[in-house]
Each structure stands twice: as structure tokens, then as C-alpha cells.
Copies of this chain bind each other. A is one copy, B any other.
Amino acid sequence: MDQTVLPTRRPARKSGTTPTRRHRKTEQRRQQIFSGALSCFEQKGYHETTVADIAAAAGVSSGLIYQYFNDKRDLLFQVILEILEAYNRDVPSALIGVKDPLERLQAAAIAYYKVIDQRVQATLFAYRESASLEKEQIAILKSKELQTNQLIVDCVLECERAGFCMDVDPELATYWIINSAHAWGLKNWRLRKVISFEDYARKTLGVIIRGMLNDAGEAHFSRHNLLDGRPL
């Protein structure tokens, strides 16, 4: 699926040096530009950032950018895509080895919270600027987002199957988790003055998870609580 997602022009590697070496250099350049763009976009926003800014931040000439990305828009798209993909990467890796359904749900939620916390700026930025993309690109981002959501939906479904849940729509429950995580990013300017990340996560996830559980779930939760009594 990801392959269809990237219409970005990449320099064809043909010959000369070993493909790998060339590819490595190429990939490194791409990364340079990418990072420059991310940093500029986060600091000043998409529209306020000029291509020259990005070039300067990346330490390349402005022309070179167009050998790695189609245009400024494409760069924005790739950057936001990468942010969303980070979510997609971190959640599954947090589930490895976790067996208990309720623990899996907590682990997934905590992982999601953590990505947001690590990249508050990026999250803010993704929220704001994705509107500047083309409809087609936005659709891709949305589907990417749903893909990540599904990781959590699946955990909720496991809990349901285990008989832990009240009658709650799994996607709605997932949105409770996701939106509360996003809120940490979106309202970070205020929340971080009121509460620490850990406390925010503990308390907010606590309410949400308890809000989904039935008595059996509650009982199970009291023995499989990843939120309290230890560092996240």
C-alpha cells in the first residue's frame, strides 16, 4: 500500500559506483532535505516557509530540492506522511510479547500517547497544515490514520471478545484514546503547565479504559493495570 503512496520523483540510480553506495548517498540527501523541511515547517508553518529556507536548513541549493521532491507541496505531504507513519511504527512494536488483551490495549494506548508526546510540534503541524494538501493527498493521509487507528480498534475488539467490555463501539472507544492523545499535543501550551505527561496519561487513560469496562473487566484491570504504580 505504501508504494502507491509515493509519487515523489526519486533520482534514478543507474551505474557509476555500486548501487548501494549511490543509493545511500541519495537517501542521505533526501533525508537532509526532509529534515530541513520538517524543522522549518514546525517552526514557521508551511506557508511561511520558503523553499529557500528549506534549502538553507538542509544545507543544499534550492534547485536540488526539486530533484528529490516534486514541489513544495510534495515535501509537505511526505513530511506529514512520515509523522503519521511514526505512529504506525511505534504502536505495534509496543505490543510485541504482550499477551493479555487488556494489557495490550493499555500498551497500545501508552505507545500512542508517547509518540505524540515525543513529537508534539510535529503533531500540531500535521493538524494545521494537512489542509494545504490536495484532496487526493489528504485522502491518503486519512487512510493512513485509519490504519493506525485500526491497531487500537483491534485491541479493543480483543478485550470485547475476552468479555471485559460494556457495550461500546470499538471505533468510538479508540477515538477516545486517540483524541485524548492528540489533545495533549494540541493543548500542550496549557496542559503542560497544569499536569505532567505521565499524570495526564495515567488519569486520562484511566477514565477512558474504566469507562469501557464491565465488572469482569474492572476486576481484570485491577490485576493488569499498566497505568498506575510504575513508570509508563
Contacts and interface: CB of A to CB of B under 8 A. Distances in A.
Contacts of A219: none
Main secondary structure of the interface of A (DSSP, over half): helix
Interface stretch (A2-10, A85-93, A112-120, A201-209): A201-209
Interface in A108-135: 124, 127-129, 131-132
Interface string A119-160: 000001001110110000000001000100000000000000
Contacts of A45: 131-132
Contacts of A190: 142, 146, 175
A44 to B, nearest CB: 9
Contact of A183 (B124, B146, B175): B175
B194 A172 contact: yes
A97 to B, nearest CB: 30
Contact of A175 (B132, B169, B191, B210): B191
Interface of A: 45, 47-48, 124, 127-129, 131-132, 142, 146, 168-169, 171-172, 175-176, 179-180, 182-183, 186-187, 189-191, 194-195, 200, 203-204, 206-208, 210-212
8 contacts: A48-B132, A127-B128, A127-B186, A128-B129, A172-B195, A172-B204, A176-B180, A176-B207
Given A45-B131, A127-B127, A175-B187, 12 more contacts: A127-B186, A128-B131, A142-B189, A168-B203, A172-B191, A172-B200, A175-B191, A175-B194, A176-B207, A179-B187, A207-B208, A208-B211
